[in-house]
Structure 1
Amino acid sequence: MKRKVKWNILLFLVLAILLTIGISYVGLNQNVSKNKSTSDKEKTHKMSIAFVNEDQGAELSGKKYTFGDDIQTSVLKDKSHDWTTVSRGVAESGLKRDVYNLMIIIPDNFSKKALSLTSTSPEKIQVDYKINDVGNNDLKVEAEKTASSLVADINQRVIDVYFASILTNLQEAQDNISTLVAKEKKHTARYDNTVNNPLANYTNQFEAVQNYTSSSKESFSGFQDLLNGQKTALLDASKENAAYQKTLEGLVTLQEKNAPFGTTFADNLQKYSASLSSDSVQNELGTLEQANSVLYRELQSMQDSMSLMSQTQALQNYIEDVNKRITTLDTEMNNTIQADILHDVQVELANILSGKSGGNNESYTINDLRADVNNRFINRLKAEINGLQYFDSEDEELLGLSSDEYQRVKVLAKQFMNENSADFAEDKLNQKTEKTTILDSLQPVKNDKIQELTNTGVAIESKEVTLDETDENEQTEIKIQYDPNFTLSDIKILEDGIEIGSSAVSNQPGEDIVTFTQTKGAPHTYKVSFVAKLNGATDISFFGNLDVSLMAIQKMHKYVLKDDTLIMDPALTNTDLEDTELTQNALLIPIEKNEPFFKEADFTEAGKKMFREIQSIVRNYERSALLFQLYYGINVNSPNYSFELGQKLEDQATNSSYYAIFNRNNLLDAIVEKASGNVTKAYKDKLTNFESQIASYKQTMSDANDRSVDVAERLVKTSSEAAAQNESLAKMISEVDLWRSASSDLLKENQVVLQSGSDEKSAAMMVNSDFGGLLARSQSLADSTGSNLNAADGVYKTFDAIDQEAKNIQTSGKDLISEAGTLSKDLAKKLASDESFSKNFSGVMSNSRVGDRPNEGLYQFLSSPVEKVNGKTIAAGDKATPYYMVLIMTLIALFTSYVISHQEKKRIQHDAFSEELSLASKNLPITFLTSFVAIAEGIIIGAISGNIFNTSHIGFILWMGICVILMLMLVMSFTYLLRQLQMVGMFIILSLVGIYLFLTDAVGLNIDRSSIFGTLQTYSPLQYVEVLLNRILNGENNFLILMYIFIGVAALFIVLNLFVIRKSTLESEEAANEDI
């Protein structure tokens, strides 16, 4: 019987071969690396080295050396090893934790000992190093080699510094010699120039000083006369300046009064220019010209006929006669009826109401009848004036109260309070100024807004406007007029919402002209947008606005007839027309955005409160101005404002004001007029129809008469004047075009005039302000000149004292003696310096001999100034114990898992009722048994190892718990792999164990972290078990994370063991029969 091929046996063979080859290669690869040829040993074994630099540095010949920093910089550039600069504690901890292979320590007195070559007994330098002993001889050799190379480098550095010191001292000696000679020459020259030579001319020089003093006294007398003349001139100039300042103030006032007229003229001129440029005016002129031509031809045909004139004259005489009779009748009726009745009724009613008929003659006003109405106006005006606040000129300028309107309110309030002084406090009557701190708090916000307007600007966008198409090849202009303190940028033209090409030119400050070409066809909508930025160093008001106006100018051609022949043919072609100058059609585009500079959103909560206070201050002035206008009829905003200070307000109140209505107008007159109208109304209504008929007839006859006269005159004159009018009309059209062009130019020039007037006003106000300070300084200069004259006597006395002092100095030689003493001291210092130099020069290389014999110690030091001291080896903790612990736990876990999985397989073959249970229920007994055995083994291993090793520093219970967790994780994971994957599971277990056994550092191997073996070592689970045990046994506290991970893995495999999928019993029996 042919046997079936066992695929599981083939799989087992393949896995066995792979496991054998893999483990053999990994294990033997490390031994092969130890038997390399001599040439291979020359290659560097890359190590992780901790460099500890504790050098404090030292000085030699005034220069500080820190060899430790230089060595640190040098080694960090070495890429053959992984160098890390750390502290001593971190380095030793890293050796214990197997982070570093070598530790090199530069002591704190390294530079001090290196520079001890100037002493009699130089000390050798020590460099400490420690090697991480993991049983790898290659690592030890490489560490010794690295330390020797480092010591050789240090020796060379110290020798270089030493010889550099020698050369420096020798060069300083040479420099000192040349300096010595130079100082000798300097002091000799100084003695000759300052002592010997001045001694001869000493007396003559002080005699000259005395002569100069006398001359100075005479010169100062003339200077005093000059000061007298200057004082007189300054006083005269001060008077002239005061008169000039008054004249200048009058000029500023006159300019402020005349400013509104220029603005009104510019507005009217612009409106008139726009009206002349409209299409309707052009069309009306053309129609008038054609109509005049038709009338001329009609009159030419009837010039010889006079029958129409005769008929017209007869009709005119008849109409005139009838009109005279109707007029006479209408006059008599009005005189006898209407006028007499109305007058008599008004006179009689007035006498009755006023009491004149009874002997009295009285009049009544609203104030007489209802005084409370007038008092409410007065009280409200008093309250508003009481609420006014007054500030100095500087604060008024910042608050925006310096304009003429607000100043006029102050004058009116002053007059009102003078007339009602009993109702106001003394400080209000004097309009006492207050110093506000609100502006100081809001000044940063104002500065930020100025910065924002300067850098970012404000975006402006006009409303949409529809423009008809222009003639071909002609461009449309948009003139933008704005505040000259701003500059426009990013100007865009949007046609039907899409940006089109345009060019912008700044015509003058405050005016830009944008040119663009319209799309042909139907009318399009246009919109203008741009950004306005504030010019630098420009102030703004808290309540200021940016005013912008735009005007679109369309250019189109105008055509006239080529010849003088007058025809009425509407079908004129372009060949019959002659092109003349362009005309402009102006259209004003409104601006959508015209917002104030400041809003409440620009301020903080505190700032908003202060901003509202400023608004309240300004609104009090505005309400007061409105009340003065309503009650007294005095409008502070009117260009025709006039008010005489000192004259009562009631005398200057207008007739249309509430004051006049309440206090002047007699109510009886109004009652009489109303009552008389009612009395005569019924009678007058009856006559109204008759009068209207007469008036209608009179109007008809008057019109007929006018028409007849007009027809008669025109029939005579029209024939002769038609031709002249036709020529005059053509000439007038041409002149209108010229005038429109001139008005446009005049409008531009007027804009310049307004701008110049504004600048002139600002300049005049600035000159007026500056002139006050100049006048004060001039007065101060005059006062100081008088003080100078008073001090002249003191100057005379000073010159006398100088003259006497010169005589005393002439006989004195103290300065010479002092200079000679100074020179003597300098020579002594120079001598001491020379002695010091002599000692320093003799001290160079003085330690090269001890008595008469050479200094052998110095020579020995120079031959090898640095020696290395091996700090022996240090083991990174006890690695053998964790290794054996892992090995023991692995072997026990593998044995336990194999036995349990094999026994479970046999049990399943004989259990015929297991198919009736769920998957978890089937696996629950074996899982419980496995967990129980693993815990028991962990307790036994923990108890035995805990008694053998000293685990007091971590606690016996904790150690046993760790052993139980590790055994539970290993047994449960191995059991799951064997039960679920069987041979594949065994392959995985043996692979993990082989990787750990041959790649761990505990058996004397050192794996390069960057190699493939280092990668395999990183992913080995048993390697992390060894790390956990190593950290616990070495007393480290950083094992909790690994502990939690292992607990999680153990719990995971416990759950996985409950869900192992097994073959059915029947399949197991068939497999058993096949094996037989």
Structure 2
Amino acid sequence: MNSPHKGKRYLKMLTAMACVSLLSGSLVYFALKDQNLHYSSERKQTAKVQYALVNEDKGARFENTDYNLGSDFVTLINQDTENNWETTSRSVAEAGLKSGQFDAVITLPSDFSEKLLSLESVSPEKAIVSYQIREGQNEQANQAVHSQVNTVLQGFNQRVVRMYFSSIIRNLSDAQTNVNQMVATDSSQNTFTISNIQTPFSTLPDSFRSTQSIANSLKTDNELFKTQQEAFVKSVASSMEANNNSLDASGKSLESTTGSVNQFAKEANTRLEKSTDQYKEQSEKDKAALEKQWIDDQKHYFDLYDALYTVGNTKLKELQSSDTEIGSFMADFKAKAEEYKVAQGKVKENLEAQITSLEKEAIDLLSLKETIAETYYGSKNLSDQTATDKDVRSAILNLMTKPGNRSKLPKQYIEAITSRLPLISSGDLSDLIAKLEQDRLISSDEATTYRNALKIVGSYSSELGGSLGQNETFKYLFSTDAMLNPATYSIHQTLEFDPSTGSQTVQLSIDDAKMGNLELEGVMKDSLEVSIRQQLKDTGYNVTATVSENTIQVTFINERTEPTTPVSSPDSGTSSTPSTDTSGATATTNATSASASTTTPPTTSPDVNQPTYSTLPKKVSVTISGQIKWNLSDDVKKNSYNQVGYSWTDGISVQAVGQLSVFNGKYDTLTEDLPVILKNFQNLDFTAQQIVTLFASPATSLDINQFASALSTGTLVEKASPDSVYSLYNNLTDDERASEISEVLVTKYQLAGDSLYKQVDQQLKDVMDILGEKDNPKEGTLRQVYQSLPDSDLLVKQASALNTWYGEMKKVLDEAHNQWKDSEKVPYESVVNDQNPQPEKMDTSKLEEEVKSLLSQYDSLRDSSKKAAQATAYGAAQVRDISPQIQQLSETTESVQKSADGILSSLNQSVKETSSTVEKNTSYAEQFGKVLANTKSGGSDNKQVFNFLSDPITTKVTEGKAQSVSHISIIPYYMTLLLSVISFIIAMTLGRFVKGGQEKEEADLLTARKWDLKLTSFLPTVGVATVGAILFSGVTLGVATAANGVLWFVYSFALMTGFILVLSYGLRKAPYLTYIVSASLLGFYLLLTPILGVTTQSGSFLNLLYRLSPLQNIENGFSYLLVGGSLSVVTVLLLLLFVGIGVSLNLFTRKK
């Protein structure tokens, strides 16, 4: 019930809230935003800082020289006159730091010189100089230490870099001197090769390729040939004589055989004439008998066929004629079939009408039966046998009351929920929940709870009034992957290729295939070819390059021409000398065999034309320019940050490595939407829980998910529990109403219902007995009779089928009779034809001529055999002896062999000296390449080297505080002060108004539940604390520009929420004690604030208070977050414990 006193109370509360908000906002603005407030960190430190230097450096060796850069560092810091430096051991330094003797300790590690001199390594490491600052100092002292250390390291870095570049320049000078020596040595070797090798080889005769062993072999073969020739002549003459004798005997035998052959041919001709006459006579008799058989068969089969047609046609005509017995039957059958069709149709129509009428009657009786059961028993599924006394009372109660009008819940309950509905977004909230679950920002269980809460709130809004808030537009719903795919990166990479391989492929490979794949773009093969051709100039080699996706293939083509030789004189042979390549590369040569066809010594021209080529380099390097395209896989596109390594490999070794990285700005919009999202989720959960409290049973768990599952089959009002607040408020329960109905009324009401139910049930059974079942009706039922009736068109269909058969049969007979035709005569065929004619007489004249020809050939063979024997003996005598030529060839070969031995000796000496020079040059090249290895690796592909050269020494802070801030920040100090003051003001305001509300609660203890009274004081306190903490955290997040916004918000929110809850409880229960404790903590904090330049002596009581001060530790947390630090697990657990204590104190406080 509203009253003037209650209105004034609300007005005071609103005024207090406005004053608190105005005061808090003013404090935040003046402390963190007003440009008229400055804090200077430029004040000069007047007192000297006492430093302790611990030098543990063991030294290192570089270019055959021992260095100890730690000692050089000591010498450098001794030049500092503004501060006090002392070199000591680690134990003394640590003890002095604890006692306050030293303000800071700087430690040089044992590998200080080793890491600074690691430039020859492919991956040099920076030297780490660690330092520790005494705890308890103010920020100005810390700043002075940072500045001094950085100044010293900067000077020492410059000295180290100068030392490196001095070493590089010295090595380059040595390299230049060695190259000059190599050129002089190569020139000397070239002169030696020309004078001692090329000139002797140009005077060698063409007979160089003949050897003494071949000449000796020819001499032996010549003697053997003479012996074999004589034996061959004798063997041929003996064989020829034997053949002549055999041919004479065969000729005589052939003449006697000729007469026998002629006699046999004459007898064969006589027998052939007689056989031909007998065959002609038999053929004429067979032809006459075949003609007579065809005429007799044709007449017999036609008579039978015509008789069959006449009989069939006569019978079919009788079937159609009404004068015959069969024809009269067919006419009567057609007439009776039509009459049967009409009568059967009427019977079926009458049965269908009766069945339809009975089915409708059965449906009406079943509906009446269910209506009676629902009216008298409370449910249509009950019967007179299953209904109980309780069911009858429930049915009577349903007739007496209207369930929809039972609740008498006060408007204040409804308005409390309705007022929160506009704070919940109506449209995009469901999509937002799905999006957060999809991106795994909330779990599936949390998403289900939020959906069920939204379902409950929506049901309440549609059934009991109240509309949800306007549709919020969440930017996060429309955010897409900000990560570029594919991502591209510019490259300038130097690669090496070996010309001796012929073809070499360098491949760009990704370290982790799950991250996607890499491709090359913009790499021009023409520029690669031009660069390599310049390095292969005058070597006789050409090059072609191919670039495809992630591979670069370079093919080296040998275009060196063959050495040419001038034309020699006609009497001289020709030869070619293999060309010599001073570089050691293999060259293809072709040699022409010497000609030994003349007996006089050959002569050659004095000179040989030979092209000259430059030395083929072992390696050619080329710098490629273009882009690397990174195609990210679907699995990693959603990551906020991706990093992957890559390498250039040539199949044998890795030439270079690197890394690629890409960011995803997708979650930036979520940070912007976070305050609105938290507000919606808080209101949604709170409102849904209120609705569940009203409509669910208190005897069961007031769980949102459990209650939402019940709403899937009904409305909110229908699913309200009978013992819920909504159903029981100012009402009797159904059981109480039912108990007031008299037993007499129940008995009479049930008897009337049983009588009606039995009558209708019996009538329904009778109807179903007459009607029968649809699928398998019993004998005698209407459905069985209807299903057993034959088809009314049955006889008509049979008559029509018979008539159709008659027409088709007559048509078949006519067609078959008209198709008769005489069979064709089979002509007589003789086996004698053009292809197989009768044989003729044999002509023996040709045989006689062939026999005579054979005899003539035998005579010619005898004569030619005799002449061949005589020619063989004469030809063997004409073969000349070649022994003089073989003797001359042997002498020429011996002379050439001596010249070749002298040339070979000179060539071995030249090769030995050249090998020695090459070995020295190779050793120098390896040393020079090791010194400049990092320079050859190229700029962007060896960032670690250039990062090392830019700053060889880095620092490491070893004490627990965050000392990486380059300036003194007052923001953490102001944040701690504002947090304490604003929390205390809000707690005082809550104590004032919540206390007034408790009097009302204590007065209502007899009429309201204890849990509801707790909520009336707990919920406002928690709500105000939450809203105040959100506003303070959000405002200070934007003003302070923290490096880690989310952790800054969580840290500020948890601290302010806990402060407000704990202080409000303390101000209600023990206000004076709370004032004393709060003032003491704030006083000690202001007294010992390091930001004001205050320092404490290590180990003193004040130093202990400083380290245990809660506000000082809170300030340290803000300082750590301000420079990009994160919250540890212990810190998060302490914050949760602090908030939980505040919630427990306010929720479970005991009422007076």
TM-score, length of structure 1 as denominator length: 0.23
TM-score, length of structure 2 as denominator length: 0.22
More helix by share: 1
